Chains A and B, each alone.
Chain A
Amino acid sequence: GQNIDQPTEMTATEGAIVQINCTYQTSGFNGLFWYQQHAGEAPTFLSYNVLDGLEEKGRFSSFLSRSKGYSYLLLKELQMKDSASYLCAVSGGATNKLIFGTGTLLAVQP
């Protein structure tokens, strides 16, 4: 079967660092995506990992371990505008089918 797990909710403080974990079990693996979705808006692309290791992009970093079926998204210097849902998605085949986790709702508090 195909399964992607993420925590449902997280809370963090403005200026802090937060790590959102994602574990996956899929029948194939081409890469792992992280998307951000603000309430009432479309998901927007944050990062893409296809090889093991850390990808850094400004305040956002994403890590992948294919052998462990594990990824995390690291958000540094949190801002209030980072309050959103963070979606982990795996691309597992030759086509563009993405399997999404149910998302982690992050609340950033002052």
Chain B
Amino acid sequence: KAGVTQTPRYLIKTRGQQVTLSCSPISGHRSVSWYQQTPGQGLQFLFEYFSETQRNKGNFPGRFSGRQFSNSRSEMNVSTLELGDSALYLCASSLASSYNEQFFGPGTRLTVL
């Protein structure tokens, strides 16, 4: 069974630009969660999508948004990039509920210059 895939793996952008990251979950998984990982803050929850609906949201500004498609693939978008958005963005997929293990993708390393 293929694991969680994320594209692109690396991105360099400049302040003010926007970026779209993609995540393909494990086949059969309907829940996709996104996390931001930085050295100082650790892993922080961005949002979770289940059956094309945002089911939960973390404490991030509205510049961070996402969506999920009918095949469970998910995208997240960050608009008006700031230097502080430089981070590793991880997506995780799971079957459905919070009792299920989450499987992480390799992440997208975003650098904002």
Query: Is A67 part of the contact surface with B, judged by Cβ < 8 Å?
Result: no
Query: Is A70 part of the contact surface with B, judged by Cβ < 8 Å?
Result: no
* Pairwise interchain contact A31-B106, C-beta atoms closer than 8 A: no
Chain A residues near B106: list those with CB within 8 A: 41-42
B94 → A minimal CB distance (Å): 6
Counting residue pairs across A and B whose Cβ atoms lie within 8 Å, the total is 74
* Pairwise interchain contact B101-A33, C-beta atoms closer than 8 A: yes
Q: Give Cα A87 to B43, complex, Å.
A: 9
Give the dominant DSSP class at B's interface. Answer: strand
Chain A residues near B41: list those with CB within 8 A: 102
Query: Is A91 part of the contact surface with B, judged by Cβ < 8 Å?
Result: yes
Say whether, besides A100-B42, A100-B44, A103-B42, A94 and B98 are in contact (CB < 8 Å): yes
14 contacting pairs across A/B (C-beta < 8 A): A30-B98, A42-B90, A44-B104, A45-B103, A87-B43, A89-B43, A95-B55, A96-B31, A96-B97, A96-B100, A98-B43, A100-B42, A102-B41, A103-B43
